[in-house]
Amino acid sequence: MTVRTDWQAWHEPYADANSPLSRRLRLVQQHIASWLDERSEERLTVVSACAGQGHDLIGVLAARPDARRLRVTLLEYDAGNVATARAAADRAGLSHLVIRQADAGQLSSYAGAVPADLVLMVGVFGNISDADVERSVAALPQFCAAGATVIWTRARRTPDLTPAVRRWLRDAAFVEEAFHAPDDARFSVGVHRFAGTPRPLDATGTLFTFLR
Ligand SMILES: C[S@@+](CC[C@H](N)C(=O)[O-])C[C@H]1O[C@@H](n2cnc3c(N)ncnc32)[C@H](O)[C@@H]1O
């Protein structure tokens, strides 16, 4: 019998600032904030796949007077997490964030949300098959505007898939800007910039299916 993950309870370690999940969150948030500092455009587009309760983006944007520069779409399947993210965004004065209950494994879910200047694949690659990770990485040029940044995470449980993920990203014309893999934790956080030519979204087909 497959035991399905309770994806609302999954977020509970964020309440402990010392948990590995909170450490990972801080790294992701630092990179979101740096990306925002480096981009001076008046309009920027952000998409987050499997966004959960949106702690990363909402946490950063809540403190940013320039948050209105961003057109943000969060894609999240779990209705409870969507509701929690919506409430957090509204509390933070971020009512312009689009939070869609959608299957981020379906390319059709990205219609209207991409091309994006920042793509978050946070908490995705550890929950899908290796083949689905490879397929998703190969599809990223469909989500990316020219010069876009992708922030991604993957646990380094054995066998560590991150060398392959980094190679697949290189093959898809991404340049690595950062890769955090702390010795005392299993998570990793990667930051890659898209140096290739954006591809139009082909909004048909499946990229990935969650395994748990
Ligand atoms: C590991 S959590 C990561 C959440 C968030 N990105 C974070 O790091 O805090 C994975 C999230 O993906 C959601 N999810 C699972 N399958 C999904 C799908 N097919 N499409 C969109 N979201 C999905 C779960 O409900 C869960 O909130």
10 lines ligand 1 (CB under 6 A): yes
Residue 154 structural domain:
14-194
Q: Where residue 126 sits, what CATH number does that domain have? A: 3.40.50.150
Structural domain count of the chain = 1
Output the six-digit token pair for 110.
Answer: 């990205």
Alpha carbon of 190 to ligand 1 centroid (Å): 18
210 lines ligand 1 (CB under 6 A): yes
In a domain, 207, yes or no: no
In a domain, 211, yes or no: no
27 lines ligand 1 (CB under 6 A): no
Distance CA 136, CA 206 (A): 9
In a domain, 2, yes or no: no
In a domain, 94, yes or no: yes
Full strand arrangement of the beta sheet holding 98-101:
98-101, 70-76, 44-49, 116-121, 144-153, 189-194, 174-180
- Atom 24 (ligand 1) nearest CA: 7
Alpha carbon of 201 to ligand 1 centroid (Å): 21
In a domain, 38, yes or no: yes
In a domain, 102, yes or no: yes
75 lines ligand 1 (CB under 6 A): yes
In a domain, 205, yes or no: no
Distance CA 78, CA 180 (A): 28
In a domain, 5, yes or no: no
For each of the chain's 212 residues, which pLDDT tens digit applies?
A: 456 899 999 999 999 999 999 999 999 999 999 999 999 999 999 999 999 999 999 999 999 999 999 999 999 999 999 999 999 999 999 999 999 999 999 999 999 999 999 999 999 999 999 999 999 999 999 999 999 999 999 999 999 999 999 999 999 999 999 999 999 999 999 999 999 999 999 999 999 999 98
160 lines ligand 1 (CB under 6 A): no
